[in-house]
Structure 1
Amino acid sequence: MSGSNKSLQSRMLALAALNMGFGLISSAFSFYYIKVFLGVYHIEEKWFQIAQTLFMVWNAVNDPLFAYCQDSTNFKCTRTRRESVLYAAPLFAISFVIPWFPWGDTNTAQAWVTGIHLITALCFWDTMYTYVGLAACCLFAEISTDNAERLKMVRNNQIGFFIGSSSVFILQYMSNQLENFGAFQTTSIVIAIVSCLLMRYCGLNAHTEKELQDDHDMLNGKPKQLKSQQYSYITLTKQIFFNRDFLGFVIMNFFQEFHRAFLSNFFAIIGDQLISKEAITPFVRSVFYGAKSMLPNVLVIFGSSVVHKYGYFYVIRCAQVMKIMFGLIYFIIGPINHWFIMIFMLVDGCITDSVFSLFNLPLSDVADKDSVRYSRSNPVTSMVFGTNALVVKPAISLSPMLIVSILNRYGYDRLKDDTLSSDEVTTLSGVMFNLLCLFPFIIGSIQYCAWSLYTIRDKKHSDNIVIVES
């Protein structure tokens, strides 16, 4: 069969290329879209909340629908995981560019125009993000079922994502902190093109074990098996959802996404407010913002041996304890100086994003157990990842909706007009600092409890699964 070690390495390389292309645009999109629509387009809070609400609904609905489609249909763009990436890559790249080109003059455009722009940008982006993201997760789970190989893929993917996440630094540097918005727009187009080419490369080369087996069978005269499901969408969802391991994971993952959305969308906003521009030079600030996207990848790349030794369950649990401790300690100490604030923000961001990079491992194990439990002829990996997204994705909208509401209550919406008094500015800064500290403390505590429900502890090796019985 063609699934030799050399072939496996090339397939893993293709998946790393996908993660690099994915990282180029996803890191920049989550980092900039709120800052651009709030700070450059001056969107009204009413339209911002409407856009986030519609985005939240579509975000939750499209994942299981696309998942069922990818698992059960045989269209040209859904036949295999890699072909899903191949045909969706250009549209995904276009969806990244749309937010950075305003629909009319930002100073004279009516509020509803900017609101419709945000709604369109978010929904189109999430459609393509979901479609390509589901295929990417399934490629991770189906290129190899060996856990040692999956850990290698985690490391390789993080190398790709590490290179891709440099897009934040590149955009910060080229646009001079968004001061030169034309340069930002031009650079974003270049980044989108490079991302598309990388994803197309993956779409041509990332064959799964099942795809290779099907090709081998066809060479031997056996008919190719088309995808089909013996269960309906509702039944499949129930089978996946009412599973203790899955429930423990998705509750923990929901709050992880809630925290990540807070850090991704408000990192620069809070940093600009709490870290004085006089104390920190623009170049150092650009490096600081770029490091938030890149350091978590470095941590995963060099920390994969720790995951292999102790298992992902205990690594994730350790990270939860660290978030609780650091958040509480820094809240008690208070903002000492600008450098301490930067260090805390980087530590919190690194812990949150690096641990999130491991989440494909437990979810892949849940998918593996599901296939064995129900003796499925075709894996429903997309449905497992899609049902996870059904629960988790609303956090991406709920987090900014909550934070914008809190910040505007203390005058953030008037900050850009320079109408706040010095006392009001001080109060707003204090609220931002409290959010920065209390988020990891509260979320880490909830996650610690939810993660206790997960019983796979841990699949360190492909043939060694330890289950903790309740």
Structure 2
Amino acid sequence: MGVRPVNCLNIPTAVLYGSLSLFVSILHNVFLLYYVDTFVSVYKIDKLSFWIGETIFLLWNSLNDPLFGWLSDRSFLSTQQSGAAISSPEVVLKRLKALMRNGPLFALSFLSFWVAWARPGVQFLVCLCLYDGFLTIVDLNHNALLADLAVSEKDRTRLNFYCSLFSALGSLSVFMSYAVWNKDNFFSFRLFCAAMAAFSIFGFSICTWILRQRFQLEVKVKHMEASMLKELHISQTPLAQEQTLTFLEYLKQLSRQQNFVWFVSMNLVQVFHCHFNSNFFPLFLEYLLSDRISLSTGSFLLGASYIAPHLNNLYFLSLCHRFGVYMVIRWLFFLKLVLSLIMLLAGPDQIYLLCFFIASNRVFTEGTCKLLNLVISDLVDEDFVMNKRKQAASALLFGMVALVTKPGQTFAPLFGTWLLYVYTGYDIFQHDALHDIVSTKPVGEPNTAWMKAVRQGCFYLLVFIPITCGVLQLLAWSQFNLHGKRLQTIKSLRQSTHQEGLLDIKAV
């Protein structure tokens, strides 16, 4: 297992790793809630500039994941495995260095949204691209560490557990932001954002510094051993001539990895469903429940939907440790399908069941998303073994998954609004609210019939999307065979290759 690193401040490595999720989530949740409203309502951006910015951002958002992943991991790709060329602690140090440098820059890019410093259209585009660029670098390196710090399913589950715990704590920034959000007086909100950014910068700097101290000792010991071998004229077998892969050759290798193909097919549907729930959650609350539940109940459902997925994931991770990630994800797909069928049979008039379904649909769907990093880490192991890498290209593989699945973010609102129009005749882009449509109708019975049609259409949208997604995902997931004996074989092969460089997470 190598030399056990110095235990700075007696904080476990898993806790330090998970805490990095806190410093991202406290900022990203606020960003998601307020950046559009800020530019539309406060900075008064025009519609053309807004859509141009979103279009360019869509392209940048899809391409920067594989770009940064390739820049990070291209040195690990070769046609020959060279084992001792790069040790696991050195790979971890490279990830931590990137996090230590880009984490604070990510926080500073977050601050650039809340002070007007250029024309709204220009600021919107520059801020979005800068923010997403630094967020991508941070996410890629943080996710890659999940595959680099540990190989065993138990240790990776432990790492993911702390990520979920700290992400749940980070979601509290959403509730705190409500107290200071005021479009007419932006000063308090700016102070709040500055405080959150300062906390994030401090946290990134301290946690990555502590982690780097630990792994630098590992690297130092390995360099000393190499120097002693050199002095004693003990040489290893000469390494075979390596040939660095091009990006196209890497893509060909990846396309032959059938588990990767089936996983991204399933994950594309998952990303679509997650963003569909986020985009249309307020719509379902307003048109299906607003006249039947109190405002406080609606606010509770909305707020709980941000925190509950992280807390619920703590239980899912315990199930993963017991039954395996593959089986837990499969059960969640079945649960999604069964709950949707029950809701369809019950109809839109069962209010309590409808409240539970709207909330649970988002919670379970988001919970599934939180588990998928464990599966991607297993795909990293499979790629490492199948293609005889000298080091696992963790960040690059996470980036390739994002490249294929991120279009689901765009498909969700487009397909959802089209279906809404098909079912109800309600075009969300041409009307500010449903009452604008109703006001054009004659009073009396036609109004009631129109409202009932819109409500029924929203209900069908609510239940048929998860039914369709559940069926498609179960079909794709049934073809995924990186579990059971095959997964254990892959993990054994990777562990035997780099046994001396891996760290026991619990021991740190």
* TM bracket (short chain): 0.7 to 0.9
**Alignment-derived partner of residue 436 in structure 2:** 419
What is the alpha-carbon distance in structure 2 between the residues aligned to residue 429 and residue 43 of structure 1?
Answer: 32
What is the alpha-carbon distance in structure 1 between the residues aligned to residue 284 and residue 69 of structure 2?
Answer: 36
When residues 52 and 459 of structure 1 are mapped into structure 2, their CA distance, relative to the original with a 3 A threshold, is farther
- Structure 1 position 192 matched with structure 2 position 197: yes
What is the alpha-carbon distance in structure 1 between the residues aligned to residue 262 and residue 24 of structure 2?
Answer: 27
Between 1:27-36 and 1:372-381, the stretch displaced more is 27-36
**Alignment-derived partner of residue 452 in structure 1:** 478
Alignment map for 1:126-137 (pairs within 5 Å)? 126-137=132-143
1:132, CA displacement in angstroms?
0.5
- Structure 1 position 95 matched with structure 2 position 95: no
What is the alpha-carbon distance in structure 1 between the residues aligned to residue 345 and residue 51 of structure 2?
Answer: 33
What is the alpha-carbon distance in structure 2 between the residues aligned to residue 440 and residue 45 of structure 1?
Answer: 32
Contact in 2 for aligned 1:89/1:199 (Cα 8 Å):
yes
What is the alpha-carbon distance in structure 2 between the residues aligned to residue 438 and residue 141 of structure 1?
Answer: 36
**Alignment-derived partner of residue 320 in structure 2:** 307
What is the alpha-carbon distance in structure 2 between the residues aligned to residue 289 and residue 363 of structure 1?
Answer: 29
**Alignment-derived partner of residue 298 in structure 1:** 311
**Alignment-derived partner of residue 441 in structure 1:** 467
What is the alpha-carbon distance in structure 2 between the residues aligned to residue 277 and residue 194 of structure 1?
Answer: 41
Between 1:314-323 and 1:186-195, the stretch displaced more is 186-195
The CA deviation string for residues 210-264 of structure 1, in whole angstroms up to 9 with x for no partner, is 86643321233549xxxx9821222223212331111111111111111112223
Alignment map for 1:86-235 (pairs within 5 Å)? 86-101=100-115, 114-175=120-181, 183-207=188-212, 213-222=218-227, 230-235=244-249
When residues 313 and 163 of structure 1 are mapped into structure 2, their CA distance, relative to the original with a 3 A threshold, is same
3-state secondary structure, aligned to 1:358 = helix
**Alignment-derived partner of residue 55 in structure 2:** 53
Q: Report the AA paired with residue 392 of structure 1.
A: T
Between 1:396-405 and 1:303-312, the stretch displaced more is 396-405
Answer with 1 or 2: which has the greater Rg: 2
When residues 122 and 334 of structure 1 are mapped into structure 2, their CA distance, relative to the original with a 3 A threshold, is farther
**Alignment-derived partner of residue 66 in structure 2:** 64
**Alignment-derived partner of residue 261 in structure 1:** 275
Contact in 2 for aligned 1:71/1:383 (Cα 8 Å):
yes
Q: Report the AA paired with residue 372 of structure 1.
A: V
User: Over the residues paired in the alignment, what is the CA RMSD in angstroms?
Assistant: 3.7
3-state secondary structure, aligned to 1:3 = coil
Contact in 1 for aligned 2:92/2:145 (Cα 8 Å):
no
3-state secondary structure, aligned to 2:371 = coil
What is the alpha-carbon distance in structure 1 between the residues aligned to residue 451 and residue 185 of structure 2?
Answer: 26
Larger RCO, structures 1/2 (Cα 8 Å, 6+ apart): 2
What is the alpha-carbon distance in structure 1 between the residues aligned to residue 168 and residue 128 of structure 2?
Answer: 24
What is the alpha-carbon distance in structure 2 between the residues aligned to residue 385 and residue 51 of structure 1?
Answer: 25
Contact in 2 for aligned 1:260/1:353 (Cα 8 Å):
yes
When residues 376 and 355 of structure 1 are mapped into structure 2, their CA distance, relative to the original with a 3 A threshold, is same
Q: How many residues were matched structurally?
A: 451
- In structure 1, which of residues 9, 17, 20 is the aligned counterpart of residue 19 of structure 2? 17
**Alignment-derived partner of residue 94 in structure 2:** 80
Contact in 2 for aligned 1:10/1:205 (Cα 8 Å):
no
When residues 281 and 103 of structure 1 are mapped into structure 2, their CA distance, relative to the original with a 3 A threshold, is farther
Between 1:267-276 and 1:295-304, the stretch displaced more is 267-276
What is the alpha-carbon distance in structure 2 between the residues aligned to residue 239 and residue 229 of structure 1?
Answer: 15
Contact in 1 for aligned 2:93/2:215 (Cα 8 Å):
no
Contact in 2 for aligned 1:459/1:465 (Cα 8 Å):
no
Q: Percent identity?
A: 26
Between 1:436-445 and 1:313-322, the stretch displaced more is 436-445
**Alignment-derived partner of residue 394 in structure 1:** 407
**Alignment-derived partner of residue 110 in structure 1:** none
What is the alpha-carbon distance in structure 2 between the residues aligned to residue 415 and residue 103 of structure 1?
Answer: 29
**Alignment-derived partner of residue 109 in structure 1:** none
When residues 206 and 454 of structure 1 are mapped into structure 2, their CA distance, relative to the original with a 3 A threshold, is farther
What is the alpha-carbon distance in structure 1 between the residues aligned to residue 312 and residue 49 of structure 2?
Answer: 38
Between 1:351-360 and 1:183-192, the stretch displaced more is 183-192
**What TM-score results when the alignment is normalised by the length of structure 2?**
0.77
1:202, CA displacement in angstroms?
3.3
When residues 172 and 229 of structure 1 are mapped into structure 2, their CA distance, relative to the original with a 3 A threshold, is farther
What is the alpha-carbon distance in structure 1 between the residues aligned to residue 341 and residue 397 of structure 2?
Answer: 35
Contact in 2 for aligned 1:308/1:460 (Cα 8 Å):
no
What is the alpha-carbon distance in structure 2 between the residues aligned to residue 273 and residue 125 of structure 1?
Answer: 34
What is the alpha-carbon distance in structure 2 between the residues aligned to residue 387 and residue 377 of structure 1?
Answer: 19
Provide structure 1 residue ranges, at least 5 long, that are not aligned to the other structure: 105-112
When residues 252 and 18 of structure 1 are mapped into structure 2, their CA distance, relative to the original with a 3 A threshold, is same
**Alignment-derived partner of residue 79 in structure 2:** none
1:153, CA displacement in angstroms?
0.8
Provide structure 2 residue ranges, at least 5 long, that are not aligned to the other structure: 77-90, 229-241, 440-446, 493-508
Contact in 2 for aligned 1:324/1:441 (Cα 8 Å):
yes
When residues 147 and 355 of structure 1 are mapped into structure 2, their CA distance, relative to the original with a 3 A threshold, is same
**Alignment-derived partner of residue 378 in structure 2:** 365
Q: Report the AA paired with residue 433 of structure 1.
A: F
What is the alpha-carbon distance in structure 1 between the residues aligned to residue 187 and residue 417 of structure 2?
Answer: 27
**Alignment-derived partner of residue 3 in structure 1:** 4
The CA deviation string for residues 349-406 of structure 1, in whole angstroms up to 9 with x for no partner, is 1111111111111111111121122222222111111111110122223323444566
What is the alpha-carbon distance in structure 2 between the residues aligned to residue 270 and residue 121 of structure 1?
Answer: 31
When residues 87 and 455 of structure 1 are mapped into structure 2, their CA distance, relative to the original with a 3 A threshold, is same
Q: Report the AA paired with residue 204 of structure 2.
A: M
Q: Report the AA paired with residue 400 of structure 1.
A: P
What is the alpha-carbon distance in structure 2 between the residues aligned to residue 269 and residue 127 of structure 1?
Answer: 30
3-state secondary structure, aligned to 2:160 = helix
